[in-house]
Structure 1
Amino acid sequence: MGLVSGQGMDPYRAVVELITRVAEAPAHVDGRLVTMSDLLIELLDSPTGLMVHGAPDGYEVRALGHGATHDAQSRLSEELRITAGPDPLLDTFRSGDLTPTTAGRAYGGQEAWQASAKCLGSIDIWGIDQVAALPVRSGEQFVAFLVGRRGADYSDADLDRLRTVQPAVAGLVSMLEPHDLPRSSLHIAQLTARELQVLRLLADGHKASATGHRAGCSQRTVHRHLSNIYDKLDVGDRLSAVVRAQEIGLLEHTPSLVRHG
């Protein structure tokens, strides 16, 4: 029997059913994560469920349960994406905030969220334009379950439902080790703010010494940032890094590549 959604939901029943379903799920990590995700999907009457797991250089996305459609999986398989700048939704979990929220609220309103690249990507891949997030572990290796749908943003009552089951979900996830998690559908690598600054200076043709002066760091640190940039963009030289950054939209302007002192 499914959960009672809406205002008539019994929070105790939701927690009991969560634990019961997970206990009865196949005895492996994938089956239990799918069970948790499917319950959250049902709880908020949403078609899509994802799990996001933080990594040192970004985060990984796993499509679970009803969210793991064949079409979405085929479009995500083996894909690597690079983004720059802050992520208003996920960065709060990385910094230690475990408050359930929505993308619209995290971005400061629907207008900002709907105009963001993340929202446009969600529409393109998942067919959703609203996301509710249930964080269950904070820090660099944060864990958050996301549910999504198309239409109006999730309500305060929806977030209350997530808060109801949050302790139980967090307790179940705490039993998992990162290396036990199923293979990710999509890896998102993020450039840090300093790496992005160095990349922009690089694109403008500045040498390491001038880049260090403008960025307020040593040449050695500049070279370390460049090494990280090359690794994340999967390139081996400055020109390739700039071209790759242009292709994926990390540079807002056309680089000059004119050498400056």
Structure 2
Amino acid sequence: MLRAGVAAVLENQADMIMVGEARNGSEAIERFRELRPDVTLMDLQMPGMNGLDAIIALRAEHPGTRIIVLTTYTGDVQAVRALKAGAAGYLLKSSLRTELIDAIHDVHRGQRHVHRDVAGEIALHVVDEALTEREIAVLRLVSVGRANKQVALELGLSEETIKGHLKSIFSKLDVTDRTHAVTVAARRGIIEL
């Protein structure tokens, strides 16, 4: 449906043509090699190879590749990951009709284009201290209902260490409990539920 929606938006543009489509990240890389589009639109959530891995692979092989991410994720962490991987644009699927053409033009000219809500989230959290990989691992286990004792066992740590990690997570995310930590982390794209 998304690909059909993009095609519908682009079909009336005199200066644009959709040259190909792909169902997943691996196919996107293959199609890019064949077609060499000026701008590539990439979803983050795809079966098999996800969009982030596809961006990294495309940019490694073709450093000048211009990529715009199309996603439902408004979180700053997910957006920053995509931008650091080499995406030049980050659009929400809900804004395709209003922003897609401008985003393609901007990125084609070598500029960045980030949806204003996402840019606001990035600006809001740019000075926040990031969670460590260990804290993210703890939070992922908490998000699936594991108690501190179970988290400690799975990660090979003491229960006190897990409590320390949770205290740090709460502080960094500015929350007071496990449920709120999971909710905020999922909204920001730190973890996936």
Q: What TM-score comes out, normalization by structure 2 length? A: 0.41
Question: Which structure carries more relative contact order (alpha carbon 8 Å, separation 6+)?
Answer: 1
The structure in which a higher percent of residues are strand is: 1
Q: What TM-score comes out, normalization by structure 1 length? A: 0.31
The structure in which a higher percent of residues are helix is: 2
Please tell me whether Structure 1 or Structure 2 has the larger radius of gyration of its CA atoms: 1
